[in-house]
Amino acid sequence: MEERDLQKLLSEMSLDEKIDQMLQLNGQFYSEDSEVVTGPMKQFGINEKQINQAGSVLNVTGARNVKRIQDNYMKKNPHKIPLMFMADIINGYRTIFPMPLAQGCTFDTDLAKEIAAVSAREAARAGIHVTFSPMVDLVRDARWGRVMESTGEDTYLNCCFAQAMVEGYQGEDVGSKDTLAACVKHFAAYGLPTAGREYNNVELSERTLRDNYLPAYEAAVKAGCEMAMTSFNTINLIPVTGHSYLTRDILRGEMGFEGVLISDWASIAEMVNHGYAHDKKDAAYKAIVAGVDIDMMTDCYTNNLKKLVEEGQISEELIDEAVMRILKLKNKLGLFENPYKGADEIEDERAEIPEEHRKLARRAAAESFVLLKNDGLLPISKDSLEKGHRKIAFIGPYIFEKNMNSTWSFFVNTEDNVTIEEALKANGYNHNISLAKGSTILSPGDYVPGFAYNSYCDATEDELNQMRLEAVRKAKEADLVVMALGEHREQSGEGASRADITIPKVQMELFNAVYEVNKNIAVILFSGRPLDIRDINDKARAILEVWMPGTEGGNAIVDVIFGHTPPGGRLAMSFPYSVGQVPIFYNEFNTGRRLTQDNERTRCISKYLDIPNTPLYPFGYGLTYTDFQYSNITLSSNVLKSDTAIEARVAVTNIGNLAAKEVVQMYIQDLVGSVVRPIRELKGFKKILLQPGETQVVSFEINCEMLKFTDINMNFVAEHGQFKVYIGQDSTTENEAEFEFIK
């Protein structure tokens, strides 16, 4: 449709109709028996007419189902404006890829883009038009359950992934059958809830907000992201859903966002709970003034906006502005021409996941695995197994676990997943292997409420003892034990903050019992967040963090532990030494009393008495099956001027015997600023494959854009002075050079 046709359509719509375009409902309102307004709908406070005019629906999928709903809806909708279908497709639809934090650990944005494109294609076939992704909240506190949905603790890394994911979902044309419109979330700073407790308030300075938290949302906007979602939290005591300065001035004004802004689930009504609005009407007023276009799952807009217009509190133009944005998006998606868009029953309902999607999931998982520790135990040689020189016991609840998907994998058939046990068989590892579950994932007494089901330990003490005895027996007979342990998948994700971020006790008891009889333990660690793993770190000889790896998890794990594929991940989020350190992140600031080797036994120093200042494993860290050597840095010049760039180079050599990928990381430090500057910040990275003995020269451009920050006067500028550049394997590298920036 041409823009003037949309204007004409808007002018013909009644005020009620327009307001209902701004309502988003979930699938229960469109189920087959929803012809009559049933109990829950009554409670919700809306009637059939509003349902038939609501502009969008969330988390309903399936080509057949979506087409049925669209057909029924179009028959009843006064202007035949198609419904828009949105869903949370955060790491795949039918094929589940590694969770987003794991994708961050790949340091491979092309891979993330490919994953997003495949996810979009699968979801589009199921009738979805918009995904509530990417989630780009900066995360530094592992207690928060939603760290799994973000690509980590670093602003620059998150920006790169935000852009890649938006490009992957949206492709060249959001109107095509294969693509989805992306919705960046949760604007803003939802990743900083006080004390890591879900939905808690957020307090931060405007400078930190601008320098660290906002850039990734902006990167998504600049990549053309069609939608944005407000967050549940307050920022400096104002709920974001009613925070005009953030949503109108910064998001729309400064960042140039022209798309549709949606509230998070019920976040308009929740402004009443926050004590920021008197009632739903007041909440609706605050949200529309802030420029929120769609009300997700409350009746605040649909039942109050008309009154607000009639009372003259808001103008109808405010409504028109929002509705026009919604209509424009529907038009871009091509829904007026084809309300089903990519929905296709045949492809959507096919029995098998396409082989190329599985291959991508398998490759992506291996690229996301972070080898935290290895004293030579990994990789395991298949030869020695076959010749009977070694016996391996595979022990732990995750050996047999089908569900290795992150919590947001709602639309899958878990039966499609490959367990470690299945992968061992399928890849021909049948000799000299024994298997034992050893324990449940959760301990007796643990209870994790879920979205669809609740999780708890369903074994009796007796059964647990039996399991453990069997595992210990098998461990005793083996030369090497591979233990697959970790958090329950429901222990991370929304509503899953944890104060104690350790592996469930029942599994630690299993680990310690196995350790008593066999010290050769390699741990495969499953988690939705960095965990406190001090116990196993002291005892295990190797630890491979595999996060929630998704559909091809088992195959990828087998590929990596037997050396078929080297682990490719580097930490996108620091592994704290203990929860006492969080929030912890590499790009912190110096204090006036820095801890050094010389003053560690002095009292009044910025340190803990009982734990180190440094994390167990820092940002950017990860081993693989070879070692790399870095040359010193050479700079093309020691002076950088505003309108030019300099080049920093290193030569990286694979000094081991296996080919593997290295993530070459460049950090910059501004030595003195008008405000205190971080000790270093990631400003570039390159992932390269090196054959044994091979050397590659890696170069990075340094320009003045990279040096900018919010200065003492709140201007975003680069200040002249001395800078250090570090290039190396992780955020602690000491390989440095110095340059001066002259304006």
Catalytic annotation, residues: 264
- Minimum distance of ligand BGC from residue 363's CB (angstroms): 27
3-state class of 738 per DSSP? Answer: strand
Peptide bond into 188 cis (omega under 30): yes
Whole-number Å distance between alpha carbons of 246 and 455: 38
403 binds ligand BGC (CB under 6 A): no
- Minimum distance of ligand BGC from residue 372's CB (angstroms): 29
Within 13 Å and on the Cβ side, how many CA atoms surround 335? 28
265 binds ligand BGC (CB under 6 A): yes
- Is the CB of 295 or the CB of 532 nearer to ligand BGC? 295
Among 34, 47, 59, 703, binds ligand BGC (CB under 6 A): 59
- Is the CB of 88 or the CB of 490 nearer to ligand BGC? 88
270 binds ligand BGC (CB under 6 A): no
Which residue's entry shows tokens 């695995």?
369
What's the CA angle centered on 344, arms 411 and 68, to 5 degrees?
80
DSSP strand E in 378-537: where? 392-395, 433-436, 447-448, 455-456, 480-486, 521-526
Share of the chain residues as helix, strand and coil, in percent rounded to the nearest 5: 35, 20, 45
- Minimum distance of ligand BGC from residue 408's CB (angstroms): 8
**135 strand-pairing partners:** 185
- Is the CB of 146 or the CB of 468 nearer to ligand BGC? 146
Contacting ligand BGC within 79-138 (CB under 6 A): 88, 132
264 binds ligand BGC (CB under 6 A): yes
- Is the CB of 185 or the CB of 489 nearer to ligand BGC? 185
- Is the CB of 548 or the CB of 727 nearer to ligand BGC? 548
Q: How far is CA 87 from CA 18, 410, 412, 416, in A?
A: 23, 10, 13, 21
Whole-number Å distance between alpha carbons of 134 and 410: 16
Whole-number Å distance between alpha carbons of 541 and 378: 9
- Minimum distance of ligand BGC from residue 296's CB (angstroms): 7
185 binds ligand BGC (CB under 6 A): yes
Here the tokens at position 187 are 């604007």
Helix (H), strand (E), coil (C) string for 112-160? HHHHHHHHHHHHHHCCCCEECCCECCCCCCCCCHHHHHCCCCCHHHHHH
Task: Name which of 709, 710, 707 is nearest 742 in CA terms.
Answer: 707
Task: Name which of 640, 715, 733 is nearest 679 in CA terms.
Answer: 733
- Minimum distance of ligand BGC from residue 490's CB (angstroms): 15
- Is the CB of 226 or the CB of 494 nearer to ligand BGC? 494
- Minimum distance of ligand BGC from residue 58's CB (angstroms): 6
Here the tokens at position 331 are 């038009």
Which residue's entry shows tokens 């990743």?
191
Whole-number Å distance between alpha carbons of 42 and 172: 42
- Is the CB of 199 or the CB of 456 nearer to ligand BGC? 199
- Minimum distance of ligand BGC from residue 453's CB (angstroms): 17
- Minimum distance of ligand BGC from residue 550's CB (angstroms): 19
Please return the burial class of 369, using the count of CB atoms within 10 Å of its CB with bins 0-12, 13-18 and 19+: buried
- Minimum distance of ligand BGC from residue 266's CB (angstroms): 8
**32 strand-pairing partners:** none
For 696, list phi and psi in degrees, rounded to 5: -125, 140
Residue nearest to ligand BGC (CB): 132
- Is the CB of 88 or the CB of 293 nearer to ligand BGC? 88
- Is the CB of 264 or the CB of 532 nearer to ligand BGC? 264
Among 153, 401, 494, 681, binds ligand BGC (CB under 6 A): 494
Whole-number Å distance between alpha carbons of 714 and 56: 39
Whole-number Å distance between alpha carbons of 682 and 619: 10
Contact 213, 205 (CB under 8 A): no
Look at strands 447-448 and 455-456 and give their pairing. antiparallel
556 binds ligand BGC (CB under 6 A): no
DSSP state of 413: -
390 binds ligand BGC (CB under 6 A): no
Whole-number Å distance between alpha carbons of 20 and 14: 10
Q: How far is CA 442 from CA 26, 280, 448, 661, in A?
A: 31, 40, 9, 35
- Is the CB of 137 or the CB of 559 nearer to ligand BGC? 137
- Minimum distance of ligand BGC from residue 606's CB (angstroms): 35
- Is the CB of 211 or the CB of 264 nearer to ligand BGC? 264
- Is the CB of 259 or the CB of 379 nearer to ligand BGC? 259
In the chain, DSSP finds a helix count (H) and a strand count (E) of 23, 29
Q: How far is CA 298 from CA 48, 188, 198, 383, in A?
A: 15, 21, 21, 61
- Residues 209-228 as x/- pattern, contact with ligand BGC by CB under 6 A: --------------------
- Minimum distance of ligand BGC from residue 59's CB (angstroms): 6
Whole-number Å distance between alpha carbons of 241 and 252: 14
Size of the site for ligand BGC (CB under 6 A): 8
Whole-number Å distance between alpha carbons of 558 and 58: 37
187 binds ligand BGC (CB under 6 A): no
Please return the burial class of 212, using the count of CB atoms within 10 Å of its CB with bins 0-12, 13-18 and 19+: buried
58 binds ligand BGC (CB under 6 A): yes
Whole-number Å distance between alpha carbons of 153 and 141: 9
- Is the CB of 97 or the CB of 265 nearer to ligand BGC? 265
State the residues that interact with ligand BGC by CB under 6 A: 58-59, 88, 132, 185, 264-265, 494
